[in-house]
Structure 1
Amino acid sequence: MKRLLALVLLCLSATRAIAHPHIFADTGLAFHFDAEGRLAQVEVTWAYDEFYSLLVTEDMELDQDFDGKLTEAEQARLTGFDMQWIEGFNGDLEIVQGDTDLRLSGPRDYSAVLRDGRIITTHFRDVEGASAENPAYEAKPYDRTYYTAYDVTLPVTVSGREGCRSRVRMPDLTKGLMAVRDQLAELDADTNPDEAGLPNIGEDLASIVIVTCGES
């Protein structure tokens, strides 16, 4: 009965799959500084929406008793399911310091849990090229195609350096941009926004996490 209910929910939600975005992820960031005051690591948390989480667990045949808990073996299978990045993929995250684009490593030390019907994953990325001078950073989690929508609704924290603060700047949804977003939502699942005349729409709709330290 529980499996039947899950399949019914998938069918009822099918219309959601024809529009952009397809996946929604509440996002959190933790900025870790080294002893010299340079940004050294960023910790990324993605909490996927219930529908996508259900799709993943069904596809991977996890939580077959539908009690919302994973066995140790299931936990091991889930961990890393979203960390198999193709070459050139930037992890849907960009960080700049002033005019410098910082280099980010691939994901490491990743984890995944199923909690309250949502898959929540965390991974670390090493940061290269940061300077202890002018420590002002902008981090932008986004998918240029807007296949995945990242909302910075989870905590943003800073560790390893005193006097730092963070804030989230939401996208400026002007009338024109809202119209573009509505146009994007009408695209079918097989249409790339670039091909529809909406290049890099994900960046236009992205939130920006701003971290400043000291007097910056």
Structure 2
Amino acid sequence: MVAAGWVVFGPGPARAHPHVFVDGGVDFQITEDGTLEAIRVTWRYDELETLFLLSDLDVTPAAGADFTDSERALVERELGRFAPDFDGSVHLRAKGEPILLAWPRDLTARMVGDRLEVAFYRDLMEPLALEATELHAAFYERTYFFAFSLTDEPRFGEAEDRCSATITKFEPSSQTDEMRAALAKLGREETPENSNVGALLADRMVVTCK
């Protein structure tokens, strides 16, 4: 069984840490009155990880083509089985407090060129009124096994004309260069001493609504 985003912990040749590169983004399901109810997360796996994932499922779409209906059903079913230690990749905070999210739902999959793209929803455990409140979103996996990059402009549901976002890309420094050099020495089965190192290397976003 393949677990979305975590199949790469299986046997295979070693690669430098991080092992998987994903770009994508976050869309915000905001009601007309400015209440955030859910987020939609998009991942596009790097070409090598796409090959690993699809090979494990015995799926081989034609070059440059999307999945057939049967392939899509299989990929969505298997990748929709998230591993118990899934930590989300999107971490939200407001007023200094973490925002609790429900388990992922409604995963969809497609091919974008030679890369696998998946998207899924996560409901807020408690809807959040965003008026006069900054929402902070960080895009990372805590052990930095996955390197996530925010590349997509966010959407804001029914509040498209009232909300905006500022994206801050991770900027390397001498300190983080040393950290990444140490991470690069880790094998596939090794984890960093800092169990939340991904947070230090994250792309971030601040959402504000009028």
- Decide whether the 8 Å contact of 2:141 with 2:198 is kept in 1: yes
**C-alpha deviation, 1:49, in angstroms:** 0.5
**1:116 CA displacement:** 1.0
Secondary structure of 2:22 counterpart? strand
Distance 2:77 2:137 in 1: 23
Report Cα offsets for 1:48-105 as digits up to 9, x if no partner: 1000001111111112665644322111101143332234533222111112211111
Q: Helix, strand or coil for the counterpart of 1:104?
A: coil
**Which amino acid is the alignment partner of residue 173 of structure 1?**
P
The answer as to whether partners of 1:29 and 1:156 remain within 8 angstroms in 2 is yes
Please, what TM-score do these two structures have when normalized by structure 1? 0.83
**1:39/1:181 Cα in 2 relative to 1: closer, same or farther (>3 Å)?**
same
After superposition, the CA RMSD in angstroms is 2.0
Cα pair distance change 1:68/1:99, threshold 3 Å? same
* Code of the aligned partner of 1:116: G
1:70 aligned counterpart, secondary structure: coil
Residue 118 of structure 1 is matched in structure 2 by: 115
CA distance, structure 1, for counterparts of residue 57 and residue 85 of structure 2: 26
* Structure 1 partner of 2:202: 206
Q: Secondary structure at the match of 1:24?
A: strand
Matched, 1:182 2:181: yes
Deviation readout 1:98-143 (Å, 9 max, x if unpaired)? 1221111111222001221110001111113323443310111211
- Determine which structure has more spread, i.e. the larger CA radius of gyration: 1
Q: TM-score, length-normalised on structure 2?
A: 0.85
Q: Name structure 2 gaps, 5 residues minimum.
A: 1-11
Whether the 8 Å CA contact 2:133–2:208 is kept in 1: the answer is: yes
Which position in structure 1 is the counterpart of 2:94? 97
* Equivalent residue pairs, number: 197
Query: Mapping of 1:61-72 within 5 angstroms?
Result: 61-63=58-60, 68-72=65-69
What is the aligned-residue identity percentage?
A: 27
**Other-structure match for 1:49:** 46
Residues 172 and 66 of structure 1: is their aligned pair in 2 closer, same or farther, counting only changes over 3 Å? closer
Residues in 1 aligned to 2:61 and 2:28: alpha-carbon distance in whole angstroms: 37
Deviation at 1:202, TM superposition (A): 0.6
- Aligned residue number for residue 124 of structure 2: 127
Taking a change above 3 Å as real, the CA distance of residues 80 and 26 of structure 1, as seen in their structure-2 partners, is farther
For 1:178, the aligned partner's letter is: D
Give the residue type in structure 1 aligned to 2:39. V
CA distance in 2, matches of 1:64, 1:136: 42
Is 1:75 the counterpart of 2:75 in the alignment?
Answer: no
Q: What CA deviation, in whole Å up to 9, does each residue of 1:18-54 have, x standing for no partner?
A: 3111111112111111243111111110001000001
